[in-house]
Amino acid sequence: MSRVSKERAALNREAAVVAASALIREKGLNGIGVRELMASVGLTQGALSKQFGSKERLAAEACRHAFESASEALSAAAGANDGDQPRRLTAFYLEPKAAHRSCPMAMLSLDAARCPQESAFRQAYDEGLSAMITDFTGNPPSRDRLALVAAWVGAALLINATQDEALILQIRQAVEQLSETIA
């Protein structure tokens, strides 16, 4: 059996985190197995144990990655902090995305809610959520902007849960209208 170089091991670790981040947002924390996850990046279950120690630790790192990538995307879409920023961000947030690229505030919320508070996944979710909310709402948070973030998350959950195109349009329009009232 050949040994893997440190550089290759680091690349394998990153690939596993990225793949887990996508799969967890797409299928949920309990919707993926270790075998499926490791097969998606061409690694063995032994590699998972060596790199992460457990599926929970990998899931926590995947959660952090999901929040980091979503935060970067939201920051890029934000543009200037002007009166149009809430509308721009709402349009970006609500535009259709593949499940694996969706916002972790919404797509990982139910998984986090089902985890024990002391779990690594729940802690990673809480940290990511707090950081994203602070990035958009400020510190202390603007109540109006916090309400808009809550509307985004609720809208994303509902939009992803239904196939009723008329209802999806109504939800989008309601959140877009809310965004127009926020500076």
Render pLDDT for 148-166 as a digit per residue (tens, 0 to 9): 999 999 999 999 999 999 9
Residue type for 16, please? A
Verdict on whether the full-model pTM lies above 0.75: yes
Cα distance between residue 82 and residue 72, in whole Å: 19
| Mean pLDDT score, 22-48 | 82
pLDDT in tens, 39-71: 877 777 787 778 888 888 989 999 999 999 999
Tens of pLDDT, residues 103-114: 999 999 999 999
* DSSP codes of every residue in 39-92: HHTT--HHHHHHHHSSHHHHHHHHHHHHHHHHHHHHHHHH-SSSTTHHHHHHHH
Q: Yes or no: say if 155 and 172 are a contact pair by the CB < 8 Å rule.
A: yes
Cβ-contact 62, 20 below 8 angstroms: yes
Question: How many Cα atoms occupy the beta-carbon half-sphere of 8 within 13 Å?
Answer: 7
Output the six-digit token pair for 161. 């849960």
Which of 82, 102, 3, 108 is CA-nearest to residue 47? 3
